[in-house]
Chain A
C-alpha cells in the first residue's frame, strides 16, 4: 500500500522509465529482427540469382547394387539433412538421378532417317523429376519400363526418331517414345549440365537417353548415383549461408566417416564459391549495423542510470523518514526493484511484443531473433537493477548521515567520474586506432577468415561517447564564460545565464544525452550520404556508363535501338590485358564519345579529360550511308601485278570489324556490303589484305575505293592519311622490308626492291606514331611502375603484344570491375591491334548514357537475346541488402533522438517541481509570469543549444574519422582505387536535426507555459496565505 502511495507522486518518472524501456526493448527486438529480415532477403535474392553450376553441388558415387541402392539413397539424404548441425534440416532441394559417366554404345535397329542396324553412343540416365522439368518436343512420356525418351537435339544429331528401337548391351530392346528439352537449362537442378540436356555434345556424348531404373542391369555398366543439392532460395535464412557454403565438403566427410568401406565419392558444383560474396554482403550489413546499435545501448544505459538517480534524489526526504522509521537498505532495494519492475516488465513486454509483431508483418515469425528477446530481457534487468541499486546507495548514504555528502565522498565520486571518463576515452582511443588501422569493422582472423571485430565495431559508439563526455567535461569552462556574460547584463536578464552557469550535474546529463542524439543524427546523415555516394560511384565506375550491354559476338541491332531517355550511345570494347606481370582490363571507347557516355565520378572519372587525352587526329575514310557494295580499283605499273586475292576490312557504327572477301571483276574487285538491319551501318574503311604475286623492283600498285549503289550513284571514297603495310610475320619475312606504302593520301604499295610476293595488310598509319595512346589507372601505374610518357607493351590476352604510350593516369578506369585497367580510343586500339598483326578485335559492348536508367535497363533487358548481358548503374540486389544497414543507422538515430527527448522532458518535469519555490521568490521580487516563463525557456534553450553544438562537433569529428571506412565495408564490390567520399546527406540530416529542434522547441514552450502557470499559482497561494 505504501509502495503504491510512494509510486503515485512519481508517476511522471515511472512513465518516463516505462517509455524508455518500451523504446529500448522494442528497438532490441525490432532492429535485430529487421537485420534478420534484411539478411534473409539478401541471402534469398542472392541465392535465387545463382544459376547452373553456381547454384548447387552434387555428390556422385557408384550406385549400390539392387536393394542397397535405396539404403544408399537414404543414407546420403540423411547426411544432407543433418548438415545444419543443430538438428534442423538445411532448406535444400535434393534431387537424385542415375547416369553413366561415359557414353554407352547401343544398337539401333534402324529408322527412316538412318536405315539399317548401327551403333549409337549415348549417355544413359534415369531422371525421376524429368517430366516436371522438361517439355516434350515429340511423342509422349514413357508408360512402361521398355520405353525410353531422348533429348531432342541428341535425337536430331543421332538421327533417332520417336518409335525407333534401341537394344541395350545385353540385347534388351527399348522403344524411344518421346523427345524432350529441359524447360530451364540454367536451373541449378541441372548444375550446368545444360550442355548435355540441351544437346550440345560434351565429352563425346551427345545427350541423355532416359530409361526406366529397372533396366540398369541390362546396360552392363555400374552407373553413378548423383544427388544434386540446391538451396531452396525461398526458405534459406542468412545464418544458414555458412553451413551451405561448406555443405559439399561436410556431406562428403559425413558419408566417408559413416561407412565401413567407403566407396569413391566425388563432389562437383561451385556453390561454395558463389555463396561467399552473398555471405560477405550479409556479414557486412551486420557489421555496419552493429555500430549505431551500440550508440543506442550506451545512451539507453546512461538514461536508465540517470532516471534511477533522479528518482532517488527526489525521494531523499521521504527515504530519510522511512529510514528513521527502521526501513533497512535491503528493503529499500527490494521496494525500489519491485516498483521499477511494475513499470519495466510491462514496458519490456509491450515493446518487444509490438516489435515482434511488426517484424512478423514484414518478414516471418522466425525472423524475430532470440538475441532480440535476450537484449530486451537485459534492458529490463538493467532498468530494475539500476533503480534498486540507486535506492540502496541512497539508503546507505542516508544511514551515514542525512547531511550533504562529505568532501571526501564527493572527491571519491569525482575521481571515479574522472576515472570513468578516462577509461572511456582510453577505450575510444584504442577502438578508433584499431578501426583506422584495419580500415573496417571486418578484420582478418587467425584461421584466414574475416569476422566482425568487437573492438573495431564499437569504435563509433565509443568515440561519440568519449567526445560527448569530453565536451561536457569542458562545461565548467563554458559556465565561467557564461557567468562573465551574465555579470555584464542588467536587470533580471542576467538570470537565465546565471542559473545556467550554476547548474548541477543533473543539467549536464541533458547536454550529454542531447549531444549523443545529435551526434547520432550527424553520424547517420554522414553514413547515409557517404554510403549512398560510395555505392553509386562504385557502380558508376564498374559499369562505366548508365547502361551497358555486353555480347562477345557483337552487339545485335535490336539492343542498339535508342533506349528511353537516351542522350548518347557508343560501342565499347572490353578485353583482358596485361602490362608486365600485372593482369588487367582493357576498355576501348571512341574518344569523341567518352565525354558523352562515360559516367562522371567526382575526383575519379573525368570523361571530358579522358576524351581529350585519347583524342586522335586520324581520319578514317568512310563510305556513304546508303552504299550497298564496295569496289576496289587497281592501278599497277605493270600488268599482272594485281593482287591474287583482295580482302577489305571495314568497321560499322557498332565498332564491329568485318573482313570481306572481294570478287575480281573486270572493273576491279567488288564485294557486297552486309545488309544493315535497321539503322545505317556507317561503314568505315580500316584496311586491305592483299595476296601479291612476285612483282618486279619499283612496281607501284595503287588502289582506289568506290562505294557503289548509293542514291547519288557510285562515289569514290576519299583516302586520307598515310597508309602502310603492317609489320609482322608475313609469308616471306625477308621480303617485307621491300614493300613500302604509297604515302600522301594514296592507298597502295611500292616494291622498293626484290620479288616481294606474299600476303600484306595495308592499314592507316597514325599521324601521331605507331604507339597506341592509353590512359592507365593509378593502381596499375603503381604496380607496373609506369608514368605518363612511358612506352609499355600492352599484351592483349590471347593475341599478343601491342606497343603503347601512356598519355594519362586516371584514379580509376571506367568500365573495369576492379577499377584498374587501361582505357584507349576504340579506333586507335583496333588499328593498333591490326598493325601488330594480332587479328581483328570488334567492339563487344554498347555503352548508353540515359536520363532514365531504370526504364532503359528494363527495355534493354526485354530486347536482349539470350547470352547478352545487360547492366545498369541502378542499384543492385546487393545494394538493397547492404542498404538495410543505412535504414538501421537511421532507426538507431531516431531512437536516440526519441530517448533524448524523453530524457529532456523528464528533466524539465522534474525541475518544474523542484524549482517551484524559486518561482514564488522571483514572483515576489517582481518578475511577472511571462518573464519567468521566458527566463526558464531561455535558460534551457542555451543549455540545449550547447548540447546541440557539442553533438554536432562530436558527431562531425567522429563521422569524419570513421564513416568513410565503415561505409566502404558496406559498399558491394568496392573498387580499391576509388576513395569513398565523405558526404553528409544534407536533406536527411537537415530534416532530422530540424525535427529534433522542433520537438525541443515545443518542449521549451510547454515549459515556459508551465512556469507561467506556476507563477500565477504562486500569486494565488500568496494571496491566500
Chain B
C-alpha cells in the first residue's frame, strides 16, 4: 500500500512537472536558445528554397534573354518530292505525311520538354531566282517561292486575291520545251517564229507582302518573267516560267513568332551578289498545291521548320534533365517519312541552360563564401546558448543524480527539453516555408531544417552533466584548446593561400564549391577572434595596473576577470568579429557591386545615353536635340573597312566620323581635331594600333594624308572594339562620304537622365519604325535603364540579397550572443558578485563590473571585425572575378564608400551597445544568497 503510494508520488514528479518547473526557473537563456533555434530553422528552411528559386529564376532569365527565336528547336533539310507527277498530288501527299511525322515526333518528347515544345510550324521554300521582266519591261528583282499549308490562317489579304493552284506541270514544260526546240530546229532559218515553251503555259500565282511590294514596286496583276539565262546562280535550276502577283498580304499578328522565325518572309531583302549590281528580292507565297507540280526546281528546295519552345513551361525545370533531353532530341533529329530525308534540329536553349548552370556554380561559390561565416557563428552561438542552459540545469541534475536518477534518464530528460523547443518549431517553420516558398521539392529543403531541429535536443542530451566535478572530457578539451587554435590558424593560412593561388572561379568551374576555399571568411574571422582573445589581455593588464591605484573595486576586479575568465569567450568574440566584419564586408561589396554594374552600364552605353539606329534622318537628329534634358549630342558614323597605310605597314581599320567638338564634351579628347595641321588631317587612333604607329607619325587613308595626334582606348564605345581611327566629321567629304550618323552619344542633364529613355525613343522611332521596305529597329539605352536592367538580373539580385541577408543575420546573431554570453558567465560572476555584495558593494555598481568584463573585449572585437570587414572585400575580389556578374571590361576592385562604412559601423555599435545594456540588465539580477549557497555546497 505504502509502496503504491510512493509509486504514485514518484509518477507525479516525473518528466512533465519537472520540465515545467525548470522552464519557469531560468527562462531567459531558454528563450534565447529558442529564438536562436527558430532563427536557424528559418535560415535552414528558407535558404535552400531561395537558392533553388534563384537558380530557377536564373534559368528563366537566360531562356527569356535569348528570345523565342533562339530558343526554338529549328531545322532545315532538303525537300524531296516523293510522289508521282500524274495524277497531281493532293495536299495530304504533299504535306500530310511530313506534318504528321513532325507532330508525332513531338509527342515522343519526355516531360518537361514535351510541355515546353509547341506544335511544329514549317514551310517549303524553293531556291531564290532572278526575275527578268515585269509586265514586259526588264527588271532586276529576285523571288523565292514559298509554300505553307496553313499560310492563310496567318495572313490577311489586303489587295487582290488568294493565289490559285497552278495546274501545269514542270515535267510537261520540259516536253513543251523539247517540242519548241524541235520546232525551232525544223524552222531553222526563219527567225522570229521560234516560241518559247514558257509562253505556252499559264503563269504561277504568287502572294507578296505589302512591305515587299512597296519596296519592289509590285502590285496585284503584275506579270513577272524569269529565264534560265538571267539567273545569277548557275547552280539553281530555273525553269523559264511566268508569275502573276495575285494579291498583297499583311500578317494578322505581326508579333507572332512565325514572322520572326521566318524573318525573310515579310521584308524585301537586299541581295549583294558577287561582282554584280545589288537587287531586292522577296519571298512569295504560292498555293500549297502548286509545289506538287514542280519537278526540277524542287532540287534546291528546303523544308524549314521550328518548334516554339516556351520559357514559361520550363520555369522551375531541372536544368540537367532538360539538357539531357535536349541533347537527345538534337542528336536524334527527325527522320521524315518515306525516305524524305533526315532533319537535324538545332537550338540555343542548351547554351542558355549551360550559361545558367555556369552562373549558378559561380554564384553558389560566392554565396557559400558569404554564408560560411554567419553559419559558423550561428553554430557557435547555438552551442553557447545550449551550454548556458545546460549549465543552469547542472545543480538540478546533480541533485537528481544524488537522489538516484540514472544518467541516461537525466540525459533523456534534457533531450526531451531540447526537443520541446526545436521539433515543433521545425515542423511549423518547414511547413510555412513549403507554403510560402514553393519549389520543385528538393530534399535539401527538408533535410537541412530536420538536422537543425534535431541538433538542439541532441546537444542538450550530450552536454548534460550530472557529475559533481567537471567532466574529464571537458578538461581534456580545454587543454586541447591551444591545439585547436593552432589548427584553425594553420587551416586559415592554407585556405587563404589556396584561394589566392587557385581563385574561386577557376576551381568553381573545375569542382563546384570547394569547402576549404568557401570557408576562408569564416576561418579568417575565427583566426581574428583567436587573436583577439589571446591578444586583448595584454593591454588589459595595463588597465589592471592602473586600476590598482584607483578607488573602487569594480574596475580592478572587472579588468582582472576580463583577462582571466573572458565573459565573451571564443563564441562571443567570434560573433562580434564575424558580425561586424560581415556587415562591413557586405556594405563594401554592395557598393562595389553597384559601382561595378554602373561602370559596366556606362561603359556599354558610352555616354549618358545612346541611340543605335540603322540610319538617322536629319529630322530625327533635330528631334533628339530638342528632347528636354539632352545637353550634348555627338553623332557617329562608321566608315570602313579602309586601309590605313604608313609606308611599311597597312592596317585594315574603321573610320569613326564624329563632330569632335561635341564628342569632346562627352570624352576627353587629347587635341583639337577639326583643323588641319600642316595640310594633314589630325586623327586619334585606337590604342591597339600603338604597335604600328606613334604619336606624330604620318599615315594615309583613302589617299588623304593624316597625322596621328594621339590615342584613345580601343574599347571607347565609339562602335568598333579595335582598329579604328577617329576623324572629325568636318573631314567627311575628304573621306569620300556624306556624314550621316547611325549612333548618337548623348550627354544629358543628370536630373532628367532617368526619364530620358521614353522621349528619346519617341524622337527616333517616329519615322523609323517601318519604312515600308525593311523593318528597322532603333534602340535607345541610357545609363540608368541599363543599370536597372542589370540589377534586375536574378544572379545580381541573388548576390545583393545574399549580402544584405548575411549582414542582417550577423547583426542579429551578434546581439543574441552578447546577451547569451553574459548569461552563460552569470554563474561564475555570481560567486564574485555575491562576495562583493556581501562585502557591501551596492548592486548598481555590479553593472560597472559587468561593463568592465564586456567592454574591452567587445571594443577590441569590434575593431578587429571592422578591419577584417575592410580586408575581406580585397581578398574576395582578388580570388573571385566578379565580371561574370557585373560585366564590363575592367576587373572589379573594392569601392570603399566612407559614408556607408561609417554608417554601418555606427549602426552596428549601437546594436552592440543596446545588447550590452540588455546583457548588463540581465546579468546584475543576481541574488547573492543563491550563488553563495550554491558555492558553499
Contacts and interface: CB of A to CB of B under 8 A. Distances in A.
A734 B482 contact: no
Interface in A695-754: 727, 729, 732-734, 737-738, 753-754
Interface string B717-760: 00000000000000000000000000000000000000000000
Interface stretch (A181-189, A255-263, A517-525): A255-263
Contact of B331 (A415, A422, A579, A727): A579
Contacts of A582: 327, 331
B702 to A, nearest CB: 21
Interface in B178-215: none
Interface string A418-453: 110011001100100110011000011111100101
A785 B324 contact: yes
Contact of B335 (A426, A434, A446, A791): A791
Contact of B80 (A437, A455, A733, A738): A733
Interface residues of B, number: 56
B494 interface: yes
Contacts of B90: none
Contact of A419 (B325, B329, B482, B494): B482
Interface in B443-458: none
Contact of A444 (B298, B344, B476, B507): B507
Given A446-B503, A729-B78, A785-B327, A753 B344 contact: no
Contacts of B487: 422-423, 426
A737 B84 CA distance: 8
A580 interface: yes
B81 interface: yes
A784 interface: yes
A371 interface: no
A313 interface: no
Interface in A782-806: 782-786, 790-793, 795, 801, 803
A629 B76 CA distance: 45
A732 B174 CA distance: 12
B514 interface: yes
B517 to A, nearest CB: 10
A62 interface: yes
B332 A786 contact: yes
A355 B486 CA distance: 38
Given A264-B648, A444-B506, A448-B506, A455 B331 contact: no
Contacts of A783: 327
B601 interface: no
B646 to A, nearest CB: 9
B501 A785 contact: no
A453 B514 CA distance: 14
A438 B510 contact: yes
B501 A445 contact: yes
B299 interface: yes
Contacts of A790: 328, 331-332
B649 interface: yes
Given A419-B482, A753-B84, A446 B506 contact: yes
A469 to B, nearest CB: 14
B511 interface: yes
B352 to A, nearest CB: 14
Q: Binding site of B, secondary structure by majority: helix, strand, loop or mixed? A: helix
Contact of B81 (A263, A430, A734, A793): A734
A734 B295 contact: yes
Contacts of A430: 491, 494, 516
B501 A446 contact: yes
B327 A580 contact: yes
B502 A443 contact: yes
A581 interface: yes
B619 to A, nearest CB: 46
A819 to B, nearest CB: 19
Contacts of B333: 580, 792-793, 801
A415 B480 contact: yes
Interface string B313-340: 0000000000011111111110100010
Nearest to B294: A734
Interface string A240-255: 0000000000000000
B480 A418 contact: yes
Given A580-B331, A792-B333, A445 B506 contact: yes
Contacts of B331: 579-582, 784-786, 790, 792
A924 B516 CA distance: 63
A337 B112 CA distance: 76
Contacts of B329: 785
Contacts of A261: 694, 697
Given A263-B648, A264-B648, A434 B330 contact: no
Contact of B503 (A62, A445, A738, A753): A445
B762 interface: no
Contacts of A579: 331
Given A438-B510, A445-B501, A262 B691 contact: yes
A581 to B, nearest CB: 6
A422 B506 CA distance: 31
Interface string A559-590: 00000000000000000000111100000000
B494 A455 contact: yes
Nearest to A264: B649
A447 B500 CA distance: 10
B342 interface: yes
A579 B81 CA distance: 26
A438 B697 CA distance: 53
Nearest to A446: B503
Given A443-B502, A581-B327, A737-B82, A791 B332 contact: yes
B253 interface: no
Contacts of A262: 691-692
Interface string A447-467: 110010101000000000000
B515 to A, nearest CB: 8
Nearest to B482: A419
B271 interface: no
A733 B298 contact: yes
A434 B518 CA distance: 13
B511 A437 contact: yes
Contact of A792 (B171, B332, B494, B692): B332
A795 B335 CA distance: 14
A407 to B, nearest CB: 14
Contact of A446 (B324, B500, B694): B500
A455 B498 contact: yes
A448 B879 CA distance: 12
Interface of B: 78, 80-86, 171, 295, 298-299, 324-333, 335, 339, 342, 344, 350, 476, 479-480, 482-483, 486-487, 490-491, 494, 498, 500-503, 506-507, 510-511, 514-516, 648-649, 691-692, 694, 697, 879
22 contacts: A262-B692, A419-B482, A419-B483, A422-B483, A430-B491, A433-B516, A437-B511, A438-B507, A444-B506, A444-B510, A445-B502, A453-B502, A580-B331, A581-B330, A581-B350, A733-B80, A734-B85, A737-B83, A753-B84, A786-B328, A790-B328, A793-B344
Given A445-B502, A734-B295, 13 more contacts: A263-B649, A422-B480, A423-B487, A427-B490, A434-B514, A455-B498, A580-B333, A729-B78, A733-B298, A754-B85, A785-B327, A786-B328, A790-B331
